[in-house]
Amino acid sequence: MRLSWNEIRARVAPPGATLADLYAPNLMPPRLRKAHHALNRAVDRLYRSDGFASERERVGHLFGLYEKMTAPLAVKQ
């Protein structure tokens, strides 16, 4: 929980910045970049001992878990 809170605090640090500003690769504030790297390392340790090969792979894995977890909640028509 603390890792995600660090990321949230880092997002609000630059006043007036939009999410597009914060996540532009060449404009991301160092504090936010550091918070993201720490969160990614934690996710890697939780789900894969050797980490993920890419951000896309990490996100794909997490969305797969989310879909599996929420599938029983879907209303069948």
Token readout for 18 is: 């939009």
Yes or no: say if 14 and 22 are a contact pair by the CB < 8 Å rule.
yes
| Helix residue spans in 13-54 (DSSP H) | 19-23, 30-47
Integer Cα distance of 8 and 77 in angstroms: 38
Specify the pTM: 0.66
End-to-end CA distance of the chain: 37
Could you report the per-residue pLDDT of 22-69, keeping only the tens digit for each? 888 888 888 888 888 888 888 999 999 898 999 999 999 999 999 999
CB contact at 8 A, 38 and 70: no
Is the pLDDT reported for residue 77 higher than 70?
A: no
